Amino acid sequence: AQRVTQPEKLLSVFKGAPVELKCNYSYSGSPELFWYVQYSRQRLQLLLRHISRESIKGFTADLNKGETSFHLKKPFAQEEDSAMYYCALSRDSGGGADGLTFGKGTHLIIQP
Amino acid sequence: KAGVTQTPRYLIKTRGQQVTLSCSPISGHRSVSWYQQTPGQGLQFLFEYFSETQRNKGNFPGRFSGRQFSNSRSEMNVSTLELGDSALYLCASSGQAGDEQFFGPGTRLTVL
pLDDT computed for residue A56 by the predictor: 85
- The band of B55, judged by pLDDT with boundaries at 50, 70 and 90, is confident
Residues in B touching A50 (Cβ below 8 Å): none
Q: What is the DSSP letter of B4?
A: -
Mean pLDDT of chain A: 90
Q: Which of the pair, B102 or B56, is modelled with greater confidence?
A: B102
Reply yes or no on whether the pLDDT at A95 is more than 60.
no
Reply yes or no on whether the pLDDT at B83 is more than 70.
yes
Considering CB atoms only, which of B42, B45, B105 is closest to A99?
A: B45
Half-sphere exposure of A36 (CA within 13 A, CB side): 23
Considering CB atoms only, which of A49, A93, A97 is closest to B48?
A: A97
Q: Which of the pair, B41 or B1, is modelled with greater confidence?
A: B41
| Min distance B89 CA to chain A CA atoms (Å) | 12
Does the distance separating the beta carbons of A45 and B103 come in below 8 Å?
A: yes
pLDDT digits (tens, 9 = 90+) for B6-32: 999 999 999 999 999 999 999 999 999
pLDDT computed for residue A97 by the predictor: 52
Reply yes or no on whether the pLDDT at A93 is more than 90.
no
Instruction: Report DSSP letters for A7-48, one per residue.
Output: --SEEEEETTS-EEE--EEE-SS--EEEEEEE-TTS--EEEE
